[in-house]
Chains A and B, each alone.
Chain A
Amino acid sequence: MNNTKISAERAAYLESRGRTKKLILAWQVGILVFFVLSWELLAQFRLIDSFILSQPSRIGTTIINMVQYDLMNHVWVTVYETLVGFTLGVITGTCLAVILWWSSFVAKVSEPYLVVLNSLPKIALGPVIIIIVGAGTEAIIFMALAISLIVTVLEMLNGFRHTDSEYIRMASTFGATKGQIFMKVVFPYNIATLFNSLKINIGLSLVGVIAGEFLVSKAGLGYLIVYGGQVFKMDLVMSSVIILAVVAALMYEGVVLMQRVAMRWYNH
């Protein structure tokens, strides 16, 4: 290939591609700016009730006030609960999936239970969880675990089962034991599945934590939202929701980053 000089067609192609990228970014930013600006203006001219719908400038001041007060503590509580629930969910879920993969008998026996538990909205178990584990952080973490666990089990089990059977056959021609087949073929084959389930789970754990904080909490973003709603401070509610969105996105990106590192390590 000629590196020093590119053809006119190639230059045109590259330029048009660059232009499309810029256009997409411009629209993305534009929509946000338009939305925030019209929200602000509509509130300024009293076309919408900023007491109920809040307004960007008030949200801004609220966030600044919150940062000076104890926002970081609330964020940390929510993040901590989410990460603990997430980690527990992923580890327990993967272990259960391994057991179900290992023994098709156990898998068949537990199938109807998994189906029911999977379709059951786990938030309905909230009161039960609170009574059993107590009204505290444990209950919130448990809620996050309940929401993410079954999905992980099903997702991982599905991945394990769809491992290329020819790979497994090849390993058995060398006399591989079931454990070796799992460690050398099935698990590495499913690294991508694992990360897909991590990506779903980080979101689900956060759902569990917020739902848990709605029910029982003294701190956390879910607590701020509920508290703000109860005392009719919509600025606080909106600010908390926006911060929550940022936190959720950052945690998701964290998983994506982990995936990239792991994939490079495994050359997928």
Chain B
Amino acid sequence: MDILKVVNIEQKYQAENGEITALKEISFTVKKGEFISIVGPSGCGKSTLLSIISGILKPTNGEVYVSGERVDGITSHIGYMLQKDNLLDWRTIYKNVLLGLEIRNTKTQENMERAENLLKTYGLYEFRDKYPSQLSGGMRQRVALIRTLAISPDILLLDEAFSALDYQTRLSVTDDVFRILKQEQVTTLMVTHDIPESISMGDKIMILSERPAVIKEILEIDFEMETRTPLTCRKSPKFSQYFNHIWRELSGNE
């Protein structure tokens, strides 16, 4: 079943000195539980695409459907995670996790328990009364993820969500996050500029072209593994094949 359907998205920006077309003829569908990585040259409009899907930004043309429902403004079906964790310094971890529920006025007993369970499952429950400044970068990013998952989104959008972390933390956090997402069966779209990261996490990789961005290719990733994790993928011999393929696609259109 297609949980997300994007139809013929076009996005134009009006600037003082002219019109810029950022996205053109973007159409694709995503199945429930899939992990889609989106790569493309910098400034090609990857993040714009996520903003449109999330409903924050209204596209110039085209439609987005989540579970058959047309997206018009921010919906509770979509969770959006940004590059920085943006945990509020003055709130405890637990209160930070509840922020999304508070904003959506869905701070019910049931949802609060769900948030607590997420904290417990992912090893952050004992830090619930701590403040963000007392946690490491990797832990903070996991808290930010739980804050997003607490609103029970059907689709999760990750916008360069790990690029602010240092390399080592990043590897272990992506591993954790991947595990969390598969376990919670969250459909995910991740924008990244890191090709290895896109391969190690994605079921499919969407390669966008230079501006005006169109979809060049949607690459299926299959490591032929029973239980894949980002770290085991990186060790697979197919990893470098995928890497070379994407590299060529991104740089080979001179």
Taking CB atoms and an 8 Å cut-off, the chain B residues in 2-18 that contact chain A are none
- Which residues of the partner chain A approach B81 to less than 8 Å between Cβ atoms? 173
Assembly CA distance A176 to B151 (angstroms):
13
- Which residues of the partner chain B approach A180 to less than 8 Å between Cβ atoms? 103
Q: Is the interface of B mostly helix, strand, loop or mixed?
A: loop
Q: Which of B84-92, B173-181, B184-192 contacts A (4 or more CB under 8 A)?
A: B84-92
- Which residues of the partner chain B approach A266 to less than 8 Å between Cβ atoms? 90
Say yes or no: A267 contacts B89, CB within 8 Å.
yes
Measured between C-beta atoms, what is the minimum distance from A186 to chain B in Å?
Answer: 11
- Which residues of the partner chain A approach B100 to less than 8 Å between Cβ atoms? 174
User: Of the candidates A170, A188, A268, which one forms a contact with B82 in the assembled complex, judged by CB atoms under 8 Å apart?
Assistant: A170
Q: Chain B 91-114 against A: per-residue CB contact (8 Å), 1 yes, 0 no?
A: 010000001101110000000000
Q: Is A172 an interface residue (CB 8 A)?
A: yes
Measured between C-beta atoms, what is the minimum distance from B103 to chain A in Å?
Answer: 4
Measured between C-beta atoms, what is the minimum distance from B82 to chain A in Å?
Answer: 6
User: Of the candidates B88, B92, B103, B131, which one forms a contact with A174 in the assembled complex, judged by CB atoms under 8 Å apart?
Assistant: B103
Best-surrounded residue of B75, B99, B104 (most CB of chain A within 10 A)? B99
Measured between C-beta atoms, what is the minimum distance from B245 to chain A in Å?
Answer: 32
Assembly CA distance A184 to B151 (angstroms):
17
Measured between C-beta atoms, what is the minimum distance from B85 to chain A in Å?
Answer: 9
Say yes or no: A173 contacts B82, CB within 8 Å.
yes
Known: A175-B104, A176-B103. A170 touches B90 (CB 8 A): no
Q: Chain A 85-101 against B: per-residue CB contact (8 Å), 1 yes, 0 no?
A: 00000000000000000
Say yes or no: B99 contacts A174, CB within 8 Å.
yes
Measured between C-beta atoms, what is the minimum distance from B150 to chain A in Å?
Answer: 10
Measured between C-beta atoms, what is the minimum distance from A55 to chain B in Å?
Answer: 52
Say yes or no: A166 contacts B86, CB within 8 Å.
yes
Assembly CA distance A266 to B75 (angstroms):
31
- Which residues of the partner chain B approach A169 to less than 8 Å between Cβ atoms? 82, 86
For A180, give the chain B residue with the smallest CB separation: B103
For A172, give the chain B residue with the smallest CB separation: B56
Measured between C-beta atoms, what is the minimum distance from B111 to chain A in Å?
Answer: 13
Instruction: Number of B interface residues at 8 Å Cβ cutoff, please give it.
Output: 23
- Which residues of the partner chain B approach A188 to less than 8 Å between Cβ atoms? 88, 90
Best-surrounded residue of B81, B82, B84, B86 (most CB of chain A within 10 A)? B86
For B54, give the chain A residue with the smallest CB separation: A173
Q: Is B135 an interface residue (CB 8 A)?
A: no
User: Of the candidates A166, A171, A172, A267, which one forms a contact with B90 in the assembled complex, judged by CB atoms under 8 Å apart?
Assistant: A267
Say yes or no: A174 contacts B104, CB within 8 Å.
yes
Q: Is B80 an interface residue (CB 8 A)?
A: yes
Assembly CA distance A170 to B79 (angstroms):
10
Q: Chain A 139-181 against B: per-residue CB contact (8 Å), 1 yes, 0 no?
A: 0000000000000000000000000101101111111100010
Measured between C-beta atoms, what is the minimum distance from A199 to chain B in Å?
Answer: 20
User: Of the candidates A170, A191, A267, A268, which one forms a contact with B86 in the assembled complex, judged by CB atoms under 8 Å apart?
Assistant: A170
Q: Is A114 an interface residue (CB 8 A)?
A: no
Q: Is B74 an interface residue (CB 8 A)?
A: yes
Assembly CA distance A172 to B82 (angstroms):
11
User: Of the candidates B84, B89, B104, which one forms a contact with A166 in the assembled complex, judged by CB atoms under 8 Å apart?
Assistant: B84
Q: Chain B 17-31 against A: per-residue CB contact (8 Å), 1 yes, 0 no?
A: 000000000000000
User: Of the candidates A164, A184, A189, A267, which one forms a contact with B103 in the assembled complex, judged by CB atoms under 8 Å apart?
Assistant: A184
- Which residues of the partner chain A approach B84 to less than 8 Å between Cβ atoms? 166, 170
Q: Is A77 an interface residue (CB 8 A)?
A: no
Assembly CA distance A173 to B74 (angstroms):
7
For A188, give the chain B residue with the smallest CB separation: B90
For B85, give the chain A residue with the smallest CB separation: A170
Known: A169-B82, A174-B103, A175-B103. A185 touches B88 (CB 8 A): yes
B interface vs A, CB < 8 Å?
A: 54, 56, 73-76, 79-82, 84, 86, 88-90, 92, 99-100, 102-104, 131, 151
Q: Which 10 A-B pairs have the closest CB atoms?
A: A175-B74, A173-B80, A170-B86, A174-B103, A174-B100, A266-B90, A176-B103, A166-B84, A188-B90, A166-B86
Q: Can you give 16 contacting A-B residue pairs, CB < 8 Å?
A: A167-B86, A170-B84, A172-B56, A173-B54, A173-B80, A173-B81, A173-B82, A174-B151, A175-B74, A175-B104, A184-B88, A188-B88, A191-B90, A267-B90, A267-B131, A268-B89
5 further A-B pairs in the complex, CB-CB below 8 A; given A171-B103, A173-B81, A175-B74: A167-B86, A169-B82, A170-B82, A172-B74, A185-B88
